[in-house]
Amino acid sequence: MSSTAVASNVKDAAGVPEISARLADLWRRGADFLGCPVAILGGAMTWVSERNLVAAISNAGGFGVIACGSMTPDLLDAEIKATQALTKRPFGVNLITMHPKLLDLVDVCQANKVSHVVLAGGIPPGEAIKRVKGYGAKLICFAPAAVLAKRFVKQGADAIVIEGHEAGGHVGPVSTAVLAQEILPEVRDVPVFVAGGIGRGEAIVSFLEMGAAGVQMGTLFVCSSESIAHPNFKRAFIRANARDAITTVQLDKRFPVIPVRALANEGTDEFLAKQREVIERFNKGELKQDAAQLEIEHFWAGALRRAVIDGDVERGSLMAGQSVGMVKAEQPVATIIAELVAQAEAALASRRSA
């Protein structure tokens, strides 16, 4: 295709959408870093980002990422091997920095020759960085501010993801648009991927033109055909609009709660009730502070599984970004990525003809 052509749903023999020279140039740094033609990382969503979805994203030209979550090293080893059986294209693994066996999980990634490791959920420990870099993997870190992004780069991060408040799951306080303006001009040494509330190709183009190397997207892939999310979970996404995806509330500053963005339901109310119960038990001396904090934090792990796997959309956690309003139907991953590329190409074409 010429640099002014608009991408269609026509794909190559491997199912990857055709990409114009102009779009390829815009996200070349990200695509080269990831080793794929489409610079879109799949957001690592616990229970959702497993072998089937991860392989589908990579096979469609993007970059799938396994959400390790609370997996044991043995479970992660099996998940990586199962994903490798479904795709020959690159994919990564997202590890939570607070995992008690973090270093063992890094060793599992090394044993399976995982090319990209994402350290998320907190400040990456020095030893984990050393081990990831030591076996030759590319290290990706999340940064909520320019100062932390620069710090992580100095420590060895090969790429940064900046994720705005509009994202699903655990979120920070700053919007995607503000983070992009704050960080993209300041961090040039490594590729920076933008995430949070991105649901169309036009938005992808706008961030690429600001200097992003690519984007990360999660919510849009939840309702893909390849996603193992329960049909009830998918229907809840398809029915929802952006205003339904709200963040949780912290009741007591003694027990800091990282806000979780999810679709409002009975589970949202139950989280507030859980906080009240734990705080009351702490005030009575029935719980120590660290145990109370842990009990609050563990609420969402079980609630998410109930929704994603068991289909309990009333009391489970429906973690979703504000882009959920743009999820209209269940579609194959390849179709979702092809539509995003077509939208991006159309946006670029309209700029050129204006």
Q: What's the average model confidence in pLDDT over 230-248?
A: 97
Question: Tell me, what's the pLDDT at 6?
Answer: 36
pTM of the model: 0.92
Copy the structure tokens of residue 180. Answer: 């992009």
Label residue 322 by pLDDT band (50, 70, 90): very high
State the number of CA atoms in the 13 A half-sphere of 273 facing the CB: 6
Query: 294 in the Ramachandran plot: left (φ > 0), alpha (ψ -120 to 50) or beta?
Result: alpha
Copy the structure tokens of residue 145. Answer: 């501010």
Q: Is the pLDDT of residue 4 over 60?
A: no
DSSP code, position 323: G
More confident residue, 7 or 232: 232
Is residue 309 within 8 A of residue 47, CB to CB? The reply is yes
Q: What's the average model confidence in pLDDT over 259-286?
A: 92
* Those residues with Cβ within 8 angstroms of residue 249's Cβ, 6 or more apart along the chain or in another chain: 257, 259, 272
Question: Tell me, what's the pLDDT at 136?
Answer: 98
Q: Report the alpha-carbon distance of residue 338 to residue 8 in Å, rounded.
A: 7
Q: Report the alpha-carbon distance of residue 153 to residue 88 in Å, rounded.
A: 29
The residue ranges of every structural domain in the chain are 21-229+327-353, 241-319
Among candidates 36, 33, 34, which has minimal Cα distance to 19? 36
Q: Report the alpha-carbon distance of residue 319 to residue 49 in Å, rounded.
A: 13
Q: Provide the H-helix boundaries in the chain.
A: 21-26, 28-34, 51-59, 73-86, 102-111, 126-134, 146-155, 176-183, 201-210, 231-239, 266-283, 289-308, 333-353
Question: Tell me, what's the pLDDT at 300?
Answer: 74
At the top level of CATH, the class of 21-229+327-353 is alpha beta
The mean pLDDT value of the chain amounts to: 93
